[in-house]
Amino acid sequence: MNKTVNQKAWFFVLPVLVLVAFNAIIPLMTVVNYSVQETFGDNVFFWAGLRWFEEILRSPRFHDALGRQLFFTGTILAIEIPLGVIIALAMPRKGPWVSVCLVLMAMPLLIPWNVVGAMWNIFGLPELGLLGKTLNTIGFDYNYTRQPGDAWFTLILMDVWHWTSLVVLLAYAGLVSIPDAYYQAARIDGASSWAIFRYIQLPKMKRVLTIAVLLRFMDSFNIYTEPSVLTGGGPGNSTTLLSLDLVKIALGQFDLGPAAAMSLIYFLVILLFSWIFYTVMTRGDEQ
Amino acid sequence: MMTRLKWLVPTLYIIFLMLPIYWLVSMSFKTTNEILGSFTLWPQNFTLENYYTIFTDPTWYNGYINSIIYVSINTVLSVAVALPAAYAFSRYRFLGDKHLFFWLLTNRMAPAAVFALPFFQLYSAIGIFDTHLAVALAHTLFNIPLAVWILEGFMSGVPKQLDETAYVDGYSFPAFFVKIFVPTIAAGIGVAAFFCFMFSWVELLLAKTLTAVAAKPIAATMTKTASSSGYELGLLAAAGTLTIIPGAIVIYFVRNYIAKGFALGRV
């Protein structure tokens, strides 16, 4: 669409700008402020320069948390995106079952995050939960509060349960926007179902899948509530992701300087990944 | 062969989705003795005691009321300020428009954990700590960008001729916007409101940090119960079950628009 140049449009954006700036810039400046200072309480601050940044970047604790975070995000993306696409492809296109599918699949998305954590906590209990009891009955030695492997298994299963539906909804929205004529043409050409998927459906879903990957990447990198309720970062530190570690440092130990420095590094990592992915995915569209 | 078994995939997936929910709901109807004493697939001694506790104890039911109040304030506020902004982005070019749009979206990426402490200090400083408004305002950080993004997508789908015809017919801008434009994109507003509701309803970290007693959300009441009084699983399960209901009602109303909302939005 041709847009008119109109500088007065700024007035329309102003309310949003004021609210978001109030919410984003002031707190962000507070964080920047803490990140370069040291305090011994009583609101007395000393200049610390970049010491906290160096400390965080060198600390094995941060490296471990970042490693776990990358492993978590990588794993859930590798499971949720293909699974979501497969389910969206298998969903009916019209008829009464569409609504039933959509409503039931959207359910996990609207459950408060701590309830999701609590639900899986109960579901996985070795003696009282359906999942835990079943696994133990068929011969697995499953206990997510004691064994790190089991904690990870439960955590990833929970996230797949929680968020695959978002990918399904997005992929499905992309699929239903493909006109029937495309499929008819493909049928006349005798295209295999793989060819239809590769050359018609996948390109049409590219845009929504970009949104899906971006949203899942950002949100899984920011995940806090569900693992904190499910495992609390344990056993030991085995499931302590970045957010959990950050909250421990900031609100638990009240180490404001290191926490602030870590916050900024954390935020920059997310921005960097999102920007690279976004640029790569949309590069082809510019021409 | 493959096409005939296609229905199996969504069916199995839905069963997988429903199992933990079923377990939560069934546990909420069990007595504590039954939960701890024996493993039963469905409630043997069906009881409503857990729900009775929640509906009669103010610390419990106030949590629900608080959550609903701040979620509503947030939804109305986010959509109201996002409407003109989205209109500007979809219709006009202006200095820095693209940078501004991207900057808005970066706020969607901000980890809540990063903002929890600064928010606490900021809102305490201006004296709105522990109010519904504080939580509603904090949640606009990620809901406004999302609402602008979704609404912009819907508005770009409305041809510009609609605006021009209205002006020719003698409408002033405010009259056109309220009487003609808003009804035209009603579906988009519904979708945006749905997502604002959803992300405000499910968020806990900020809501918990910014409240103490007066505006405490239901989710915070739940975590406190889980940690303080040993393990009242039945009560916790009943409270959890009740938090699913508002979401389920909202989904039912917008089921035909959910998928469309994201698909039309611009990346």
Residue A153, pLDDT > 70, answer yes
Q: Which of B214, B195, B70, B220 is nearest to B137 (CA)?
A: B70
Interface with B, mutate which of A2, A3, A154 (most B CBs under 10 A):
A3
Measured in whole angstroms, the distance separating CA B143 from the mean position of its chain's CA atoms is 9
pLDDT category at A40 given cuts 50, 70, 90 is low
Domains and CATH numbers, chain B: 62-218+244-264 (1.10.3720.10)
Q: Indicate the SS3 state at residue B158.
A: coil
pLDDT category at B18 given cuts 50, 70, 90 is very high
The reported pLDDT for the residue numbered B173 is 87
DSSP 8-state class, residue A144: T
Helix boundaries (H) for A222-255: 225-230, 242-247
CA of A64 vs chain B CAs: smallest distance (Å): 18
Q: Which residue has the tokens 């570690």?
A: A245
Chain B partners within 8 Å of A118 (Cβ):
222, 226, 236, 240
Q: Which of residues 2-21 of A touch B (CB under 8 A)?
A: 2-10, 12-13, 15-17, 19-20
CA of A97 vs chain B CAs: smallest distance (Å): 10
H-run or E-run covering B12 = helix B8-28
Neighbours of B115 (CB within 10 A): 26
Question: Which residues, listed in sequence order, are joined to residue A37 by a DSSP beta bridge?
Answer: A47
CA distance B112 to B114: 5
H-run or E-run covering B25 = helix B8-28
Residue B229, pLDDT > 60, answer no
Q: Which residue has the tokens 């043997």?
A: B44
Residue B265, pLDDT > 60, answer no
Top mean pLDDT of A51-65, B163-177, B224-238 is at B163-177
Mean pLDDT of A61-86: 93
Least confident segment among A133-137, B180-184, B262-266 = B262-266
Between A118 and A161, the more confident residue is: A161
pLDDT tens for A88-145 read 999 888 777 888 888 888 889 888 888 898 889 888 888 788 888 888 888 888 888 8
Q: How far apart are the first and last CA of chain A?
A: 16
The reported pLDDT for the residue numbered B230 is 47
Cα-based distances in Å from A278 to A141, A206, A216, A222, A252:
43, 12, 13, 18, 35
Which pTM was predicted?
0.86
Chain B partners within 8 Å of A251 (Cβ):
116-117, 209
Chain A partners within 8 Å of B119 (Cβ):
23, 27
Q: How far apart are the first and last CA of chain B?
A: 38
Q: B144 and B81 in contact (C-beta within 8 Å)?
A: yes
Query: Phi and psi dihedrals of A39, rounded to 5?
Result: -135, 150
Task: Name the residue among A115, A218, A267 with its Cβ closest to that of B108.
Answer: A218
pLDDT category at A45 given cuts 50, 70, 90 is confident
* Whether B136 contacts chain A with CB within 8 A: no
pLDDT tens for B84-131 read 999 999 888 888 888 888 888 888 877 887 788 888 888 888 888 888
Residue A151, pLDDT > 60, answer yes
Question: Which residues, listed in sequence order, are joined to residue A4 by a DSSP beta bridge?
Answer: B92
Contact A87 B88 (CB under 8 A): no
Q: Which residue has the tokens 């109305």?
A: B76
Measured in whole angstroms, the distance separating CA A172 from the mean position of its chain's CA atoms is 19
Cα-based distances in Å from B39 to A120, A131, A139, A158, B158:
17, 12, 17, 22, 57
CA distance A148 to B122: 38
What angle, rounded to 10 degrees, do the helices at A256-282 and A10-35 form?
Answer: 130
Q: Name, in order, each residue with C-beta under 8 angstroms of A244's C-beta and a sequence gap of 6 or more.
A: A65, A224, A227, A228, A233
Q: B241 and B60 in contact (C-beta within 8 Å)?
A: no
The reported pLDDT for the residue numbered A58 is 85
Mean pLDDT of A207-218: 85
Q: B248 and A107 in contact (C-beta within 8 Å)?
A: yes
CATH of domain A60-285: 1.10.3720.10
CA of A49 vs chain B CAs: smallest distance (Å): 20
pLDDT category at B144 given cuts 50, 70, 90 is very high
Percent of chain A residues topping a pLDDT of 70: 96
Q: Tell how many helices (H) and how many strands (E) occur in chain B.
A: 15, 1
pLDDT category at A73 given cuts 50, 70, 90 is very high
* Whether B29 contacts chain A with CB within 8 A: no
